[in-house]
């Protein structure tokens, strides 16, 4: 089925089987729901798949090992609540048997994730707060315990090889769209975006986001289409693509190519409960309007920004009036044990959106104290332990607070927080967030005049012409 054998260190034998739905059939995929942390002596142990299941019987062992990593580790990163049979990304695994393009992009994600897990932490350029993390930065012990393994030789090459195969198949599929399962292609493109985020979150993701948005806009009316197994998880796939589209627009200066909220769907709100980004749809919609506003402000002289200031003030009022508590109490249908932390996470997002609006135009709205908003973000995120699955939703507000503040203590907090996040979510975009924060500080601190009064760090970063996706 695959022309290349992907090298990967063996894992411990799998000890438990569960059953799930896929391709309208019951499938068996052996893996340990709570895998023991492998030690050095485990690295030569064979990996066993359920031999009774013809779904994986003729697949080479390295491919199955990457699927195992995707199923037991990477899938957990993609949701808030990873419970059996309810993680839509794990349900993609049985579909791989019939769709080589899906197998290759999943292998690429898993291989790149293993490579990323074994990267060193943030580079220590110097001991200053503005430069990078200091030598005294606390190291979370999670970095030494969460599925740590020795650095696997060749996993980056495996990721690139699988990515190349997936790109070739994607090109062929896009050239023959009338006979292609569009839900499958959107899913593959989402996994391409995730692959770029695992790698670095720089530049390459944008083409995939644009392609996904174009295809989403061409999908038939959003209904429960049962003709394709992947259509059953369309909500989550589409929701993540739309969210990446909005977050990617925050630091990208370009004409808006598609308004995700113009689509006659409520996919984002239907997927809020288990999206690892946990971004309230109302706030995401306000943020998208602020992105549009910042693109307009980028091209206008300061003398013509009065209308933009009024529009920004309206967006600020809308963001501040959003009832976070009511949202958190209803997002899962009813309050749960996770609700208090949902509230804190959403309040951090709310304050971060306000800061972004504040910095998106050439002149700041009056009566706005951004440093108090930074303080609020720090306060609310202090309730979110790095081991909490909701910590995966905190990188964007942490980035916004860090880029905004001039307070050395708060700057150090942002670096520390991202370092802790890296230990539990080793995706390259987390390290990119640190690089971009430091870039924002340098642009501001090295300016001869107070450039924040002219444009602000959002406009300054956009002017560099780079494409960063901080999720």
pLDDT tens-place string over residues 349-360: 999 999 999 888
- What are the tens digits of pLDDT across the range 154-171? 888 899 999 999 999 999
Domain boundaries along the sequence of the chain: 236-470
- What are the tens digits of pLDDT across the range 200-225? 999 888 889 888 888 887 665 545 55
SS3 percent helix, strand, coil of the chain, rounded to 5, is 60, 5, 40
Pairwise CA distance, residues 69 & 66, whole Å:
5
Range 277-302 average pLDDT:
87
Nearest to 380 by CA among 415, 353, 350, 423: 350
Range 8-28 average pLDDT:
33
Confidence of residue 112 (pLDDT cuts 50, 70, 90): very high
pLDDT of amino acid 94: 86
Who has greater pLDDT, 155 or 64?
155
Q: What is the mean pLDDT of the chain?
A: 78
pLDDT at 10 over 90: no
Burial 384-406 (b: 16+ CB within 10 A, else e): bebebbbbbbbbbbbbbbbbbbe
Pairwise CA distance, residues 470 & 362, whole Å:
22
- 85 conformational bin, left if phi > 0, alpha if psi -120 to 50, beta if neither: left
Which of 43-52, 104-113, 288-297: highest mean pLDDT?
104-113
Range 119-131 average pLDDT:
48
Range 138-162 average pLDDT:
55
pLDDT at 327 over 60: yes
- What are the tens digits of pLDDT across the range 416-454? 999 999 999 999 999 999 999 999 999 888 765 444 444
Nearest to 240 by CA among 211, 273, 275: 275
Range 265-286 average pLDDT:
88
pLDDT of amino acid 19: 36
Handedness of CA 450, 456, 461, 462 (dihedral sign): negative
Nearest to 170 by CA among 155, 188, 152: 188
Q: How far is CA 316 from CA 353, 355, 356, 365, 401, in A?
A: 8, 9, 10, 9, 16
Q: Are 163 and 208 in contact (CB under 8 A)?
A: no
Pairwise CA distance, residues 97 & 1, whole Å:
9
pLDDT at 235 over 70: yes
pLDDT of amino acid 445: 82
Angle CA 6–20–55, to nearest 5? 45
User: How is residue 333 annotated by DSSP?
Assistant: S
pLDDT of amino acid 367: 65
pLDDT of amino acid 229: 62
- What are the tens digits of pLDDT across the range 375-421? 999 999 999 998 899 999 999 999 999 999 999 999 999 999 999 99
pLDDT at 151 over 50: no
Q: In terms of DSSP H, where are the helices of 361-407?
A: 370-381, 395-404
């Amino acid at each position: 089925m695959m022309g290349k054998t992907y090298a990967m260190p063996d894992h411990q034998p799998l000890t438990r089987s569960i059953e799930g739905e896929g391709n309208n059939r019951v499938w068996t995929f052996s893996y340990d729901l709570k895998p023991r942390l492998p030690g050095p002596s485990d690295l030569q142990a064979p990996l066993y798949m359920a031999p009774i299941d013809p779904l994986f019987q003729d697949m080479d062992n390295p491919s199955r090992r990457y699927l195992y990593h995707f199923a037991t580790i990477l899938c957990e990163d993609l949701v808030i609540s990873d419970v059996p049979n309810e993680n839509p990304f794990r349900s993609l695994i049985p579909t791989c048997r019939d769709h080589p393009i899906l197998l290759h992009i999943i292998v690429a994600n898993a291989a790149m994730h293993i490579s990323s897990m074994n990267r060193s932490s943030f580079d220590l350029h110097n001991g200053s707060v503005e430069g990078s993390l200091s030598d005294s930065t606390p190291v979370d012990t999670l970095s030494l315990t969460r599925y740590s393994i020795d650095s696997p030789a060749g996993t980056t090459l495996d990721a690139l090889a699988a990515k190349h195969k997936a790109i070739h198949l994607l090109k062929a599929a896009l050239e023959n769209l009338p006979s292609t399962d569009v839900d499958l292609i959107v899913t593959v493109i989402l996994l391409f975006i995730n692959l770029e985020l695992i790698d670095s979150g720089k530049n390459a993701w944008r083409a995939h986001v644009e392609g996904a948005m174009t295809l989403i806009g061409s999908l038939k009316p959003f209904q429960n289409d049962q003709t394709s197994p992947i259509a059953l998880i369309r909500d989550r796939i589409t929701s993540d693509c739309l969210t990446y589209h909005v977050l990617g627009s925050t630091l990208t200066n370009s004409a808006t190519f598609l308004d995700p909220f113009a689509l006659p769907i409520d996919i984002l709100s239907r997927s809020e409960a288990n999206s690892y980004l946990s971004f309230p749809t109302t706030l995401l919609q306000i943020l998208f309007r602020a992105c549009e506003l910042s693109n307009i402000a980028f091209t206008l002289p300061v003398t013509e920004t009065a209308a933009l200031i009024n529009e920004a003030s309206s967006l600020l009022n809308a963001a501040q009036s959003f009832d976070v508590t009511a949202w958190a109490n209803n997002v899962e249908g009813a309050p749960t044990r996770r609700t208090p932390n949902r509230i804190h996470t959403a309040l951090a997002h709310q304050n971060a959106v306000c800061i972004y609006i504040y910095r998106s135009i050439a002149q700041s709205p009056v009566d706005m104290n951004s440093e108090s908003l930074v303080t609020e973000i720090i306060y609310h995120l202090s309730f979110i332990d790095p081991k909490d699955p909701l910590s995966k939703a905190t990188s964007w507000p942490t980035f916004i607070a860090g880029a905004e503040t001039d307070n050395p203590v708060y700057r150090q907090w942002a670096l520390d927080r991202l370092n802790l996040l890296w230990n539990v979510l080793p995706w390259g975009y987390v390290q990119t967030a640190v690089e971009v924060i430091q870039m924002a500080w340098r642009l501001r601190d090295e300016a001869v005049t107070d450039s924040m009064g002219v444009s602000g760090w959002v406009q300054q970063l956009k002017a560099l012409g780079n494409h960063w996706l901080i999720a």
